[in-house]
Amino acid sequence: MMGVLRTERVSIDFGGLRAVDNLDFQIGDEIVGLIGPNGSGKTTFLNIISGIYKPTRGRVYFNGEDITSLPPHMIRAKGIARTFQTNRLCLNLSILDNMLLGLYCQQQTTWWQAIFMSSSSSREIKLGIEKSLAILAHFNPALITRAYEPVMTIPLIDRRRIEIARAVVGDPRLVLLDEPTAGLNSEETNQMINDIAKIRRRSSQISIIIIEHDMTVISRITERVVCLNAGQKIAEGTFSEVARNELVRTAYLGG
Amino acid sequence: MELIISQILNAVMLACTYTLVGIGFSLFFGAMDIVVFCLGDVAIAGAFAIMALSTVMGVYASLSGILPAPISGIIVVFIGACFTAGLVTLMYRAVIVPFEGKNINASLLSTIAAGIVIRELIGLFYPEGRNPHAFPQLLPAGLIGDNVLLSWRNIIIIAITFIMVMLLYWFVNRTKTGLSIQAISQNKEAAIMVGINWHRIIVITFLIGGFLLGIGGFLTASYFNSLRFDMGAMYGLKGFCVAVVGGLGSIYGAIVGGLLIAFVEVFVTAFIPGGTAYSSVAAFLIVVLFILFKPEGILGEKTVEKV
Amino acid sequence: MGNKIYRYSLAGLSTLGICMALYVCLSSALLVALIVIALAIVILSVGERKNVIDKVYRLIGDNKALNLGIIALFILLLPFLVQGNNYLLHIAIMAGIFSIVALGLNFQIGGIGQINFAPAAFYGMGAYTSAFLSVKMGLSPWLGTLCGLLMAIVLGVVVGFPALKARGYYLSLVTIALQIIFTLMIVNSPWIGGPNGIPGIPSYQIGGFSFRTPVALGGIQLPYQVNFLYLVYILLALFALAANRLYNSRVGLAWNAIEQDPIVAACQGINLTNTQLLAFCLGAAYAGIAGAIYGHYTSFIGVENFDFSQSLIFICMVILGGTDNVPGVVLGAVLLTMIDEKLRDFSGYRLLMYGIVLIIILIIRPKGLLPKRIRVYQQKDRSEYSSHSAVVTGGSR
């Protein structure tokens, strides 16, 4: 199994607080769940991978290439897409525009091409629209008829779907999902689990790191689980192995 | 040596005039996370009110008839400061409340527009409003002893600024209302949850800030000995610069920032040939550099952007 | 078929109506102009409530060629309509020049959501560079204009660079400071005229024909303003077209994404540095060329045309017209220019009016006369998708 993403002894300090501590992590062609109590550094770790934070120490390798010091937009161009804990779509823009943003890294039109060669620019956008609508149809066909509506009129579950679709539409190699089911009821959570499974069904060439508090989600879709506590990895393995782990139980129950 | 000392004194005086308006910016930013761009105009409006009371309306003259001159001076300035307190609270209702919780660009533009409105209204409706006026001397003139450098006026300006800052310090740190202001500026939601009446505190903050602005406007007009309707634009801008350099939201930062900006301006004017023209340029350049390389200012706290 | 002809003529009529309303505003007294504008606002608000505006947009969008033709014809005929009145033509030219600046400013305000308080500095940079080169160095005004454009772009980088690090209040302070520094530097530089400005700026020439010679068209003697009118509006058409294409391209989308959430934008692969600088440089280029034309048109420039209050006027134009809506921005610029000129008799009230207008718009109609719209890509099969809520509603965050 070839590693897609690998981190070596990654640490990050905020003032005196070490949010992520000497974390060794790797992922291949699989879905890895990242669990841990609140404040254990899960989201911070995703922020390090996607380039929003620079780690104080340690390195991040993606497809064997060192991406530690790259800015977020270059990391996205390499093929790492993500969603956010609090749903962060561009609320004023339409569903379609949000999807096109997900394709931004694949498009080539520069500003002067947009001005002087508008036909090639609109051809590119047209292709993008077809692709976006295809992916939207994959998640929820009802969204296609609402493609020109601003996202702020869309219910939460669909916003999450759109955010995931936006991450997936640009054919990333690795997708980081930060609590995709937060704020959803159990029915919606089930739908979301199916949606995430759909990503892998569409292409097995997509690896997923998913942060979740809902253990049913973790147990149903992840192939491997990593548990963090206070920035350190305290357990790793299949869900049942990790669930039985004494350290994990203590961390969650606050022992 | 004489020259340097007189320039230092000059800078301290200028810093005094900047500090109070800088504190106004910091106070409102701390309480509401908002920059009220019309503060300079409000302060100058206060100075105009004081001038009106002393000249056109003759309040000062009639008061002087029954009371000793310093006390009637204090009363007039107090009324003027109360006027600015009212004016700034009016500004809060008219151009800040409608934009609460919306994009900051809206409140930014509306307060700038409010500044223009105040300025132009003075220009239109104050008698001879668009011409420069000699500000009435409510502060005693004359030198202290034989020293050419120390006049009563200068000493009183510095003393008033000092007293105001001390009063504010006492108020913010020793009274319940002041502590509530601090609580709100640190964490609004938490402050509301422990039962602080947010709305009342904000209005009090504006009243206090407005009062300080009135005093600031009075000191500025007294220092320059003249008053123009459009002084407020530059004065407010300098006040904002002072607050940013010192650290937006920090009251003591405004003092430090005021000193820094004033020293730069005075020394560029005094020691660089032809520097008079470039003193403001130098001050603004310093602010730009601060924003680029140390945006939290000298005394402000560095904030980590939440992702 | 009959329906098609009906829609066609309806589209033409609505465009014609807009042109006529603008003409009435231009040629009549202040009071009439204000009544027309007030009427337009009422029609707009009522129309929005009844979803008529959307239909008008679609009507005009579906018959683009016809409507552009009518507008072109209107501008072509304008000198004859006003019977060669050079003052009215002057207002129309200034409206065109300011529209170009406002379109450029819109890249920053509407695009990346950063209020730039120094558009007048860009505008002045173009004007002063071109005027200085053509007066003092004897350079051709055309080349001078090009140099003005380039120098404005340089200034755009200088102003845009802080925008990469600072946002909101801090950026506003930086741009205000740079605007004031710009004005102070001009006042204190005697070699470019200092407070006296630069007089005697030569006009454009094509093969010996100076733009400052009156022309006889169709047997009617027309003042020299006609030349500039056509020049300015040809440029405005090109610049508006470019702005529209940018808006509908991935660049405009990236700008909007940065406005909404820079971190999310970066995580979609948008290079924040380049994209934001682009908004400032393109905006500066627009303003620079407009400034250069202004100088060669009026033959005199002074620092008061490029100070902070002029910047505020540009901002007012964008906000009044509607941020990130190309026709809206042009409309805002044209309307404010006309009102401004009509207020010449009450010059003491000019700035007061801008202050009050700005506050009122921000409270009553924060999105401007023509609010920003959802991008519509495929004209042909758009009917498949419902677009009844095409207008962005609610707050921007």
- Chain C residues in contact with B35 by the CB 8 A cut-off are 169, 172
Mean pLDDT of A193-213: 86
Q: Residue A216 pLDDT more than 50?
A: yes
Phi, psi of B83 (to 5 degrees): -60, -45
Mean pLDDT of C342-371: 84
Please state the separation of Cα A39 from the chain's center in Å: 19
Interface contact flag, C377 A150, Cβ < 8 Å? no
- Tell me which DSSP letter residue A226 carries: E
Under 8 Å between Cβ of C314 and C320: no
- Tell me which DSSP letter residue B302 carries: P
Interface contact flag, A94 C374, Cβ < 8 Å? yes
State the pLDDT at residue C24.
87
**pTM score:** 0.91
What residues contact residue C185 under an 8 Å CB cut-off, 6+ apart?
B281
- Tell me which DSSP letter residue B199 carries: H
Chain C residue with CA closest to B36: the answer is: C169
C101-140 tens-digit pLDDT: 999 999 999 999 999 999 999 999 999 999 999 998 889 9
State the pLDDT at residue B10.
85
Q: Residue C384 pLDDT more than 60?
A: no
Flag whether residue C64 sits within 8 Å of chain A, measured between CB atoms.
no
- Chain B residues in contact with A47 by the CB 8 A cut-off are 307
Partner chains of C (3+ C-beta pairs under 8 Å): A, B
In this predicted structure, which of C70-74, C208-212, C244-248 has the lowest mean pLDDT? C208-212
Interface contact flag, C351 B116, Cβ < 8 Å? yes
If one compares B307 and B127, the residue with the highest pLDDT of the two is B127
Under 8 Å between Cβ of B151 and B144: yes
Interface contact flag, C177 B288, Cβ < 8 Å? yes
Pick from B95, B104, B284: CB nearest C181: B284
d(CA B185, CA B193): 14
Q: Residue B69 pLDDT more than 80?
A: no
B275-288 tens-digit pLDDT: 788 888 999 999 99
- Chain A residues in contact with B304 by the CB 8 A cut-off are 14
Q: How many CA atoms lie within 13 A of A115 on its CB side?
A: 9
State the pLDDT at residue B146.
66
- Chain A residues in contact with C270 by the CB 8 A cut-off are 73, 101, 104
Pick from B113, B233, B287: CB nearest C359: B113
d(CA B46, CA B135): 12
Give the model's confidence band at B303: pLDDT under 50 very low, under 70 low, under 90 confident, else very high: low
Best residue in A75, A111, A117 to probe C by mutation, most C CBs within 10 Å?
A111
Token digits of residue B81: 């400061």
B99-112 tens-digit pLDDT: 887 878 888 889 99
A104-145 tens-digit pLDDT: 998 888 898 888 988 888 889 999 999 999 999 888 888 888
Mean pLDDT of B212-233: 90
Token digits of residue C393: 């509603």
Mean pLDDT of C269-275: 93
If one compares B57 and C35, the residue with the highest pLDDT of the two is C35
Phi, psi of B143 (to 5 degrees): -95, 155
- Chain A residues in contact with C260 by the CB 8 A cut-off are 90-93
User: Residue A22: enclosing H or E segment and its boundaries?
Assistant: strand A17-27
Under 8 Å between Cβ of A6 and A26: yes
Interface contact flag, B307 A14, Cβ < 8 Å? no
**Residue type for position C13:** L
A59-75 tens-digit pLDDT: 999 998 999 989 999 99
Please state the separation of Cα C252 from the chain's center in Å: 17
Flag whether residue A148 sits within 8 Å of chain C, measured between CB atoms.
yes
State the pLDDT at residue C391.
44
Interface contact flag, A125 C377, Cβ < 8 Å? yes
Q: Residue C218 pLDDT more than 60?
A: yes
State the pLDDT at residue A1.
46
CA of B304 to nearest chain A CA: how many angstroms apart?
8
pLDDT > 70 in chain A, percent: 98
Mean pLDDT of C174-182: 92
CA of A244 to nearest chain B CA: how many angstroms apart?
33
CA of B303 to nearest chain A CA: how many angstroms apart?
11
Q: Residue C232 pLDDT more than 70?
A: yes
Under 8 Å between Cβ of A32 and A224: yes
CA of B62 to nearest chain C CA: how many angstroms apart?
34
Size (chain A), residues: 255
CA of A100 to nearest chain C CA: how many angstroms apart?
8
Q: What share of chain A is helix, strand, coil (3-state, %, to 5)?
A: 45, 25, 30
What residues contact residue C72 under an 8 Å CB cut-off, 6+ apart?
C237
Mean pLDDT of C166-193: 89
State the pLDDT at residue C380.
47
Q: What is the mean pLDDT of chain C?
A: 87
Give the model's confidence band at B149: pLDDT under 50 very low, under 70 low, under 90 confident, else very high: low
Mean pLDDT of B233-255: 89
Q: Residue B141 pLDDT more than 80?
A: no
d(CA B276, CA B263): 13
Interface contact flag, B304 A14, Cβ < 8 Å? yes
State the pLDDT at residue A80.
94
What residues contact residue C66 under an 8 Å CB cut-off, 6+ apart?
C8, C11, C12, C15
Give the model's confidence band at C310: pLDDT under 50 very low, under 70 low, under 90 confident, else very high: very high
State the pLDDT at residue C385.
45
State the pLDDT at residue B90.
92
Q: Residue B59 pLDDT more than 90?
A: no
Chain C residue with CA closest to B118: the answer is: C352
pLDDT > 70 in chain C, percent: 94
d(CA C264, CA B116): 37
State the pLDDT at residue C388.
40
Q: Would you state the CATH architecture of domain C82-392? A: Orthogonal Bundle (1.10)
Flag whether residue A175 sits within 8 Å of chain C, measured between CB atoms.
no
Mean pLDDT of B46-70: 82
Q: How many CB pairs under 8 A join A and C?
A: 138
Q: What is the mean pLDDT of chain A?
A: 89
pLDDT > 90 in chain C, percent: 47
**Nearest Cα residue to C121 out of C167, C184, C166:** C184
Break chain C into its structural domains and give their ranges. Answer: 82-392
Mean pLDDT of B214-224: 91
Give the model's confidence band at C162: pLDDT under 50 very low, under 70 low, under 90 confident, else very high: confident
Interface contact flag, A81 C267, Cβ < 8 Å? yes
State the pLDDT at residue C34.
83
Under 8 Å between Cβ of B24 and B249: no
Domains of chain B: 2-293 (1.10.3470)
